[in-house]
Amino acid sequence: MEIKKLFERNDVESTSGSAQQAAKKRGVAAFQDQQAQADAARRAGEDSVTISPLSRQLAQLSQILSEDEAQQADRVAELKRQVEEGTYSVSRDDVARSVVSFAADTAQ
């Protein structure tokens, strides 16, 4: 999976302008709510743990990357099976596009 696709998902979304301000306000409100809950737990003599919104996003990103690694492993296993059975075929058009793309990237 390409990195840019990670940010196209709904759970890890980039925003701008007023949407960014609204997201910031929600984040501040969530933090304040967590702080209020932690304060109430402290007053009651209980222990509490809070997780920041950033750490939740990092956990989501980690999960997305793990899913991607599993998909890649499945794809490699499928290609290996095809090669072993002799059924793997290469499109000459795909190879040509790849060579031209590689040459263009390395020429810069």
pLDDT in tens, 24-53: 677 667 667 777 777 777 788 777 677 777
Residue type, position 22, single letter: A
Identify the pLDDT of residue 23.
65
Identify the pLDDT of residue 58.
86
Separation in Å, CA 59 to CA 56, 63, 66, 105: 5, 6, 11, 33
Count of domains observed in the chain: 1
Name the pLDDT band for 73 (thresholds 50, 70, 90). Answer: very high
Q: What is the Cα–Cα distance from 13 to 51, expressed in whole angstroms?
A: 19
Provide the residue range defining the domain that includes 31: 3-107
Identify the pLDDT of residue 78.
95
pLDDT in tens, 8-29: 554 444 444 566 666 667 766 7
